[in-house]
Structure 1
């Protein structure tokens, strides 16, 4: 499991350090500790494939102009036996390295050899990561924010897995607290409306059609039996009936979206096993609480939060954040995950600071919690933003969205932008079969390669194993450009995992598809030179592998014909 880009960067660093050693040995440069320097792919690769700023960052150390340092190093650089065949000093002192042709050939062979594992690395070294996402309240259907959170969270878990982490997916079921009380109230009132007049629904209750359906179905089973029960008994019975149905529906709907969790974790379990009380006592024992106005407060400001907050209300009931603290204690201490990664809405900024403060107070390194805050998405149809109210029950849900557009389009579109960016989801474009539709464009590139292979096979031409020397024949600019991008896949996956940003995968796929179409139009696979033909066919197969693996990460189909 190699990473051609990272390997080349590391080799470049070693070449530089070796040259530095020779400069010191000859007295060209003095022996000094070297500041950290970078080796990066420059924005303009016309001068080289990699560039280093070592001369700039060490100017003060060597008391020389960066250009002088760069020229001294360049004279001592030895490229024989390396992946590079040229080095030059540019500008004020950048040192640019150009990859040799063999690196490109080896990169194609690596993709062909690794096949369905191309892109995987051991960067994560098996560290255990728990990705919690969606975690929608089980009081109603999932909305568009959950649709984005689902694609995003599932994508994060996938890139972590491909980057060598052990990533588990988890759904936290909020089956306790205020939202369940409101759920019970809403069900109760809808149930009562079936048997008597004048029962009004408060504005802040749940008004969705699903609440009405639950009440009717409950009545079909029990009739008016619970009209004579106490309010507490009636609401408890209604919640016990409707909540499992909603949770099952969540699981079914998410499965349609190709999301499967390793665990569904119930908040109620934290109350039942004493975890919630344990957190409160732990904070008390450590001296991080105080009492005021009959409530127990957490000294959050002592740990960097903007204000203290209530843990236990004056009525003796804990606030919503206490089971959340207990849940994170369970993740990071009881189950021992190295990191907890939460995908939340952008309105959770304050919550993140409070949670990290609480974790630090109970002895957990707050850096072990990473939170990905995502912006909302605007649904657009006929050029107009669709506006709807979740409370009224008229919002487009995940289910209704998937009835309108393919799952492939939904998963691709929701990962088109970085999590913290707001964007418009064009429902019309998502079903359009044209190059303007991003997911169609990428899938078409994969199908086109399959078509090339099938056409050649029809003419009696089969792909065979190719040598590095044969792959060295791929020297056209379009071929080199395509291979360079092909080789980036393992590194792009690592970068996507490091930044929790699956959008890097959709961008990679779009760029790879564009470069393949450019190659296809400029370089005929079926040509008079059998060795060049096989080399180009091998490149096509390597690109097909990279496209399919990228789409697999995103759980998007890679069709063989379109």
Structure 2
């Protein structure tokens, strides 16, 4: 019985108890939460539901807890229920119910932790979307790891997820990039407002290899050649780097297509005709304050050119026309203003603002020897995806970037995350998986099978803790999806690895010397196999490998 199963049993029992005493079951929350007591002597799980609802039900918390304890005690999955303090319920599961968790993992294998809760929900998940003017910097790299992991988690919950990259190939930054390429090709200094870095010389050389005549063209035509070919070559490199990082996209959407197709003009005209835009000082403004934004936003500037939000508005309409129920945008730390404006744009078209979700990621810093690393070999002053991967590898890079909430900044200690020690969280988790793989090989050599285990033999504190930690996994996946926080998976895996390492130190799994395989070995091997499966499932959701040997 997993914690989720126990929570359902507790809620059903509470509803029945309240109804049988003429009290209103509607006072119960839709979902009950369970905690694992720090002191295992208090039981396997604890609940404060009696204190939550007693006042609404018109009874004392202690009385309600006692009624619930009596009712729960009759269930075969429950070994013991006690009431503590003002009305806490402490629950201890029967050994058979704990064993059922291990059996469920064996039966569901790679599907353990997954569900169909979001089945029928179509989600557009847009992330990275770095401008094709240079290599992906650390902020974009963080979104490459977190966005891909979030997509995996939402898919595990049954959603149809489309990973999308918004290809910014329209606007002033592309013009600056083209001018920088021309300067690099001519051997001239980078323009004051241009981009710097050794990568520009490579891209410029690639343009000339394709168009040897480019430098002899009139300035405007030359600029266009370097823009078109240079942007394509830069973006090809970006896609290749992301693929090597384990992040691929279903759709690469070109911003310029919104302007070329007339989608931006059509969206603006729609808002004008509906009165959602107004003219002031020669510009057209979205009445975004009517929909909760902190200020109205310029959509068409006084010079007649579209502001950046014009493309955003048309892009949102395009996503909805493609049938997405939810549009998640993963943006950088300097994009807080986009939350209000994107939701306002949705509302202006008559959509529910909650059709839009915006996640904001904070900064990432590299630290070596206690000193911040600020210079890149290839990209000038910007630290890139390649720099991070070269320093610590793909697995460690993905793991460290997913491991913390996106609301917080990260300092990545290169020495720690490149080390092969238990202090390195990704090594700690992967080593647990590798050790379990080795255990399975050893078991096969000794003739120990995990078939038909008797889980009632698993009576130690270390065994019980490991089983209950395994049981937490579906709930962790659900929370990671619901809260858009894949870092919960990483933190859970570290807890699971720690629980396993303690189990391994306290419980001998395989027979030694002339000892013959016994039922206890079988039960412990089955528990080890379940642990290995859950570690692999969780690492898979993070896009991190689960090595069999280390």
Same fold, judged at TM 0.5 (above): yes
Q: Counterpart in 2 of 1:466?
A: 452
Query: Is residue 379–residue 386 contact of structure 1 (8 Å, CA) maintained in 2?
Result: yes
Q: Counterpart in 2 of 1:124?
A: 118
Q: How does 1:293-312 map to 2 (within 5 A)?
A: 293-312=281-300
1:16 to 6, 14, 17: 14
Q: Counterpart in 1 of 2:548?
A: 560
Q: Counterpart in 2 of 1:402?
A: 389
1:433 to 411, 420, 434: 420
State the shift of 1:32 in Å: 7.7
> 1:32, 1:560 → 2: CA distance?
50
Query: Is residue 395–residue 544 contact of structure 2 (8 Å, CA) maintained in 1?
Result: yes
Q: Report how many residues are paired.
A: 544
Query: Is residue 346–residue 420 contact of structure 1 (8 Å, CA) maintained in 2?
Result: no
Classify 1:67/1:44 alpha carbon distance in 2 versus 1 (closer, same or farther; 3 Å): same
> 2:267, 2:366 → 1: CA distance?
41
Matched residue of 1:380: which SS? strand
> 2:113, 2:303 → 1: CA distance?
55
2:471 to 474, 483, 487: 487
Classify 1:60/1:128 alpha carbon distance in 2 versus 1 (closer, same or farther; 3 Å): same
Q: How does 1:86-97 map to 2 (within 5 A)?
A: 86-97=80-91
Q: How does 1:260-409 map to 2 (within 5 A)?
A: 260-331=248-319, 333-388=320-375, 393-409=380-396
Q: Counterpart in 2 of 1:27?
A: none
Query: Is residue 81–residue 92 contact of structure 2 (8 Å, CA) maintained in 1?
Result: yes
The worse-fitting range, judged by mean Cα deviation, of 400-409 and 494-503 is 400-409
Query: Is residue 112–residue 474 contact of structure 2 (8 Å, CA) maintained in 1?
Result: yes
Query: Is residue 179–residue 191 contact of structure 2 (8 Å, CA) maintained in 1?
Result: no
> 1:391, 1:178 → 2: CA distance?
23
Classify 1:524/1:392 alpha carbon distance in 2 versus 1 (closer, same or farther; 3 Å): closer
State the shift of 1:335 in Å: 0.9
Q: Counterpart in 1 of 2:137?
A: 143
TM-score (normalised: structure 1): 0.92
State the shift of 1:408 in Å: 0.8
> 1:464, 1:70 → 2: CA distance?
40
Query: Is residue 55–residue 66 contact of structure 1 (8 Å, CA) maintained in 2?
Result: yes
Classify 1:326/1:389 alpha carbon distance in 2 versus 1 (closer, same or farther; 3 Å): farther
> 2:388, 2:65 → 1: CA distance?
57
State the shift of 1:297 in Å: 1.1
Query: Is residue 282–residue 302 contact of structure 2 (8 Å, CA) maintained in 1?
Result: yes
The worse-fitting range, judged by mean Cα deviation, of 61-70 and 509-518 is 61-70
**Structure 1 alignment gaps of length 5 or more:** 25-29
The worse-fitting range, judged by mean Cα deviation, of 164-173 and 387-396 is 387-396
Q: How does 1:212-227 map to 2 (within 5 A)?
A: 212-223=201-212, 226-227=215-216
Classify 1:34/1:291 alpha carbon distance in 2 versus 1 (closer, same or farther; 3 Å): same
Matched residue of 1:553: which SS? helix
Query: Is residue 374–residue 381 contact of structure 2 (8 Å, CA) maintained in 1?
Result: no
> 2:214, 2:463 → 1: CA distance?
75
Query: Is residue 39–residue 50 contact of structure 1 (8 Å, CA) maintained in 2?
Result: no
2:128 to 128, 134, 158: 134
The worse-fitting range, judged by mean Cα deviation, of 237-246 and 204-213 is 204-213
Moved over 6 A (4+): 389-392
Q: Counterpart in 1 of 2:533?
A: 545
TM-score (normalised: structure 2): 0.94
Query: Is residue 5–residue 488 contact of structure 1 (8 Å, CA) maintained in 2?
Result: yes
